Structure 1
Amino acid sequence: MSTTLLISDLHLHPGAPEVTEGFLDWLDRRARGVDTLYILGDFFEAWIGDDLLDHVDQDPSGNAALALRVATALRQLTDDGTALYLMHGNRDFLLGHRFADAIGAKLVTDPAVLRFADEPVLLMHGDSLCTRDEAYMAFREQARNPAWQEQVLAMPLADRIQLATALRQQSGEATSNKAEDIMDVTPEEVERVMRDHGVTTLIHGHTHRPAVHEIEIDDQPARRIVLGDWQPGRGWEVEIGPDGDPVLREIALQPGRS
């Protein structure tokens, strides 16, 4: 029987080893053997370039060592037959084909329409739905510009590490000063995107507000399923089985594995 799992917003980084350990255990206990796994963005707290994997001994932050360990585990998963797809988030928008190839994954565009049990489902990271956050939307346009990305990736590794640290700090300061509704999705944008793609089911992350929202699109019942972020001891997944019905589930993460 076909099973697909979707996760988002793990924000893996050296400062949260419990989440990394919980994820690796989840891979072994839960994801191994499923047909397909989708990671819908913000898998890493920051990603400064695929060449990070070449500089484990030159990266005092520990990000390279973490990335290599996670990449090894994901390669084992795909070698065992699970199809893996990565979507960019607002934190790891520099993930590239080299990293995807190394783990046996494919990069998927945002948004992406898939079919489950012959029903179309729209997958997104979710940041593009937060149109009321004008400052972020301006940054998003810059960060997704290929010319800007090329310029950043041409910087020395140490400079990219500093840039990533500065961007995270700026993001944290900006978030603390924004109203809650500004950082959530814009309902009108959700309806527009779902209508444009001809779907009645949308699955996304980004907002860290896990829920199933029952809505209407042109007088037809629809739903927006929001994946939650991962914390020590707790994560979120959506499972889609052979019947094509997505199920949002909170999952208990083990503290680590030997």
Structure 2
Amino acid sequence: MSTLFVADIHLCAREPAITAGFLHFLRARAIAAQALYILGDLFKVWVGDDDPNPLHHEIAVALQALTQRGIPCYFIHGNRDFLLGKRYAAACGITLLIAPQVMFLNGLRIVILHGDALCTDDNDYQRFRRWMHQRCLQRLFLSLPLWLRLRIADRMRANSLRANSGKTTGIMDVNAQAVIAAMDDTDSTVMIHGHTHQPAIHQLPGKRCRAVLGAWCHHGSIVEVSTSGVILHEFRFNG
């Protein structure tokens, strides 16, 4: 059996085709997997487990159906849904993991993470990342009224889009030395991550490889680990 990895689905009510594609993936592909790992940014924005958005309930029901069939599902936070908490995880039946996470599959020692921590050339983003991961600030944000959290999230997203428009692709990509350091620290031979939206499998020195998941937009992106190795798949939502 195969273990599947996805990231950067960016679910939101304004993109029903992506939602339909992800739900189809859960029913048609993930159901036959040994396990499913979601490596962050499942949702386009997450302002708290108390948000009554119907889409959140729909996805929770679908993930719960998967885990109740005996397919374990694991989740690593991304830069958009780092506030997803234990309450929603319990509703989904998923297990929250702390990145970087090391696992063993088919004789491979694999490290998994969202990937934004590897983009060390983007100094502005790394400063923002350190700020938004402070527990005291997270608790303060979650204590605000839901309408205000949604408004702040919209403003932050608009600011991020403006800031990224002035950055080169190289700055927003992973740093090669950061990748090697992370693999050395975890003694891993395979790294799987998302975030950069540049799907590929990169061969690295020392018989290592780095598998990068693509963002779900007009098609889905999966990394499959099986006895055949590490394979990147892309598929149309209606396929």
TM-score tier after normalising by the smaller chain length: over 0.9
SS at match of 2:29: helix
Moved over 2 A (4+): none
Q: Amino acid of the residue matched to residue 223 of structure 1?
A: C
Could you tell me which of 212, 215, 228 is aligned with 2:201? 212
SS at match of 1:50: coil
Could you tell me which of 168, 172, 181 is aligned with 1:192? 181
User: Any gaps of 5 or more consecutive residues in structure 1?
Assistant: 56-63
Whether 2:84 is the aligned partner of 1:95: answer yes
Q: Cα RMSD (Å) of the superposition?
A: 1.2
* Distance across 1 between alignment mates of 2:29 and 2:60: 17
| 1:70-85 to 2 correspondences below 5 Å | 70-85=59-74
Which residue of the partner structure matches residue 229 of structure 2? Answer: 245
| 1:46-195 to 2 correspondences below 5 Å | 46-52=45-51, 55=52, 64-195=53-184
What is the Cα deviation at residue 42 of structure 1? Answer: 0.5
Which residue of the partner structure matches residue 11 of structure 1? Answer: 10
Which residue of the partner structure matches residue 21 of structure 1? Answer: 20
Summarize the Cα distance change of 1:33–1:133 in structure 2 as closer, same or farther, 3 Å threshold: same
* Distance across 2 between alignment mates of 1:169 and 1:85: 30
What is the Cα deviation at residue 77 of structure 1? Answer: 0.9
C-alpha distance after superposition, 1:195-242 (max 9, x if no partner): 1110121000000000011111xxx1211110000013x11001112x
Which residue of the partner structure matches residue 220 of structure 2? Answer: 235
* Distance across 2 between alignment mates of 1:160 and 1:254: 35
* Distance across 2 between alignment mates of 1:119 and 1:32: 23
Conserved? CA contact 1:119–1:244, under 8 Å: no
Percent identical among aligned pairs is: 40
C-alpha distance after superposition, 1:36-65 (max 9, x if no partner): 10000011000000111xx3xxxxxxxx11
* Distance across 1 between alignment mates of 2:44 and 2:13: 9
Q: Amino acid of the residue matched to residue 227 of structure 1?
A: L
What is the Cα deviation at residue 244 of structure 1? Answer: 6.8
* Distance across 1 between alignment mates of 2:63 and 2:117: 27
**Corresponding residue pairs, total:** 239
C-alpha distance after superposition, 1:16-36 (max 9, x if no partner): 111011111111111113221
User: Any gaps of 5 or more consecutive residues in structure 2?
Assistant: none
* Distance across 2 between alignment mates of 1:70 and 1:11: 12
Which residue of the partner structure matches residue 34 of structure 1? Answer: 33
SS at match of 1:89: coil
* Distance across 2 between alignment mates of 1:104 and 1:3: 20
TM-score, structure 1 normalization: 0.90
What is the Cα deviation at residue 116 of structure 1? Answer: 0.6
C-alpha distance after superposition, 1:92-137 (max 9, x if no partner): 0000011111111100111100001232101010000000101100
C-alpha distance after superposition, 1:150-184 (max 9, x if no partner): 01100000011101111111111111111110000
Conserved? CA contact 1:117–1:244, under 8 Å: no
* Distance across 2 between alignment mates of 1:85 and 1:250: 21
